[in-house]
Structure 1
Amino acid sequence: MMLATLALGLLCIMSFNQTTASAASYSVVSSTTVSKTAYHRASSKGAVYNLAHTKKLAKLSSYPNTTWYVTKRVVLKHGSTKAIYYAVKNGAGTVSGYIWHSYLTKGKTPFGLKYAKAAVALDASTDKVLWSKSANTPRAIASVSKLMTLYLVEQKVAGNSATWNSKVNTSYSGLKTMGASSVYGGFKFTKNSYTVKQLYQAALIDSSNNAATALGQWVAGGSTPSYNTKFIKLMNAQAKKWQLDNASFVSASGIEQSALRGYGYAVSGGNANLVSAKDVALIAKHLITDYPSVLTDSSKPTLTVAGQSCYNYNNLLPGRKYYQSSLKVDGLKTGYTDLAGYCFVGTGQKTGHHRLITVVLHDEDEFTETRSLMNHVYALNLI
Structure 2
Amino acid sequence: MKKLLAVSFLALAVAYPTTAANPPFDTPAPIAYLEDLSSGAVLYEKDADRRIPPASMAKMMTVYVAFDLIKKGELKLDQQIDVRPETWKKWHSQGSTMFLAVGEKPTVSDLLKGIVTLSGNDACVVLAEGIAGTEEAFVGLMNAQGKKLGLTNSNFGTSNGWPDEGRTYVTARDLAHLAKATIQDFPDLYKNYYSLRSFTWGKTLGAGADISQANRDPLLGRVAGADGLKTGHTDEAGYGFTGSAEQSGRRLVMVVAGLDTYGGRAEESVRFMEWGFRAWKARPIASKGRKIGDVEVQGGGANSVAVVAPRDLNATVPAGTSPAMQGKIVYQGPVKAPIKAGAHIADLVVETPGMPTQTLPLVAQSDVGEAGFFRRAWLGLWSLFG
CA distance in 2, matches of 1:110, 1:128: 16
Q: Per-residue deviation at 1:127?
A: 3.7
CA distance in 2, matches of 1:231, 1:183: 20
User: Matches of residues 11-26 of structure 1 in structure 2 within 5 Å?
Assistant: none
- The partner residue of 2:259 within 346, 355, 363 is 363
CA distance in 2, matches of 1:159, 1:109: 43
- The partner residue of 2:161 within 254, 262, 267 is 254
Q: Which residue of 2 aligns with 1:153?
A: 66
Q: Per-residue deviation at 1:228?
A: 1.2
Q: Which residue of 2 aligns with 1:113?
A: 27
Q: Which residue of 2 aligns with 1:28?
A: none
SS where residue 309 of structure 1 aligns?
A: strand
Whether contact under 8 Å (1:142, 1:340) holds in the other structure is yes
CA distance in 1, matches of 2:216, 2:85: 28
The one-letter code of the counterpart of 1:358 is: M
Gapped regions of structure 2 (runs ≥ 5): 1-20, 203-209, 282-315, 317-386
TM-score, normalised by the number of residues in structure 1: 0.61
Whether contact under 8 Å (2:98, 2:201) holds in the other structure is no
Q: Which residue of 1 aligns with 2:181?
A: 286
Aligned Cα RMSD in Å?
2.2
CA distance in 2, matches of 1:291, 1:380: 29
CA distance in 1, matches of 2:146, 2:94: 32
Rate the CA distance shift 1:378–1:214 in 2: closer, same or farther, 3 A: same
- The partner residue of 1:230 within 137, 147, 150 is 137
- Larger helix fraction of residues: 1
- The partner residue of 1:379 within 260, 271, 278 is 278
Determine what percentage of the aligned residue pairs are the same residue.
29
Whether contact under 8 Å (1:187, 1:202) holds in the other structure is no
Q: Does 1:340 align with 2:237?
A: yes
Whether contact under 8 Å (1:179, 1:188) holds in the other structure is no
User: Matches of residues 29-40 of structure 1 in structure 2 within 5 Å?
Assistant: none
SS where residue 144 of structure 2 aligns?
A: helix
SS where residue 355 of structure 1 aligns?
A: strand
- The partner residue of 2:151 within 236, 244, 269 is 244
CA distance in 1, matches of 2:94, 2:124: 17
Q: Deviations over 1:325-347 (max 9, x none)?
A: xx321211111111111011111
CA distance in 2, matches of 1:308, 1:157: 28
Whether contact under 8 Å (2:228, 2:244) holds in the other structure is yes
CA distance in 2, matches of 1:290, 1:203: 19
User: Matches of residues 105-144 of structure 1 in structure 2 within 5 Å?
Assistant: 110-114=24-28, 116-144=29-57
- The partner residue of 1:297 within 171, 186, 193 is 193
Q: Which residue of 2 aligns with 1:275?
A: 170
The one-letter code of the counterpart of 1:275 is: V
Rate the CA distance shift 1:113–1:298 in 2: closer, same or farther, 3 A: same
CA distance in 1, matches of 2:22, 2:176: 28
Rate the CA distance shift 1:380–1:330 in 2: closer, same or farther, 3 A: same
SS where residue 280 of structure 2 aligns?
A: coil
SS where residue 103 of structure 2 aligns?
A: coil
Q: Per-residue deviation at 1:199?
A: 0.6
CA distance in 1, matches of 2:67, 2:94: 29
Q: Which residue of 2 aligns with 1:102?
A: none
Whether contact under 8 Å (2:98, 2:118) holds in the other structure is yes
Q: Per-residue deviation at 1:190?
A: 4.1
- The partner residue of 1:310 within 213, 220, 223 is 213
CA distance in 1, matches of 2:257, 2:51: 10
Q: Does 1:187 align with 2:99?
A: yes
Rate the CA distance shift 1:358–1:164 in 2: closer, same or farther, 3 A: same
The one-letter code of the counterpart of 1:137 is: R
TM-score, normalised by the number of residues in structure 2: 0.61
Whether contact under 8 Å (1:120, 1:132) holds in the other structure is yes
Greater C-alpha Rg: 1
Whether contact under 8 Å (2:239, 2:257) holds in the other structure is yes
Q: Does 1:328 align with 2:225?
A: yes
- The partner residue of 1:198 within 98, 110, 116 is 110
Gapped regions of structure 1 (runs ≥ 5): 1-106, 258-269
Q: Per-residue deviation at 1:179?
A: 4.0
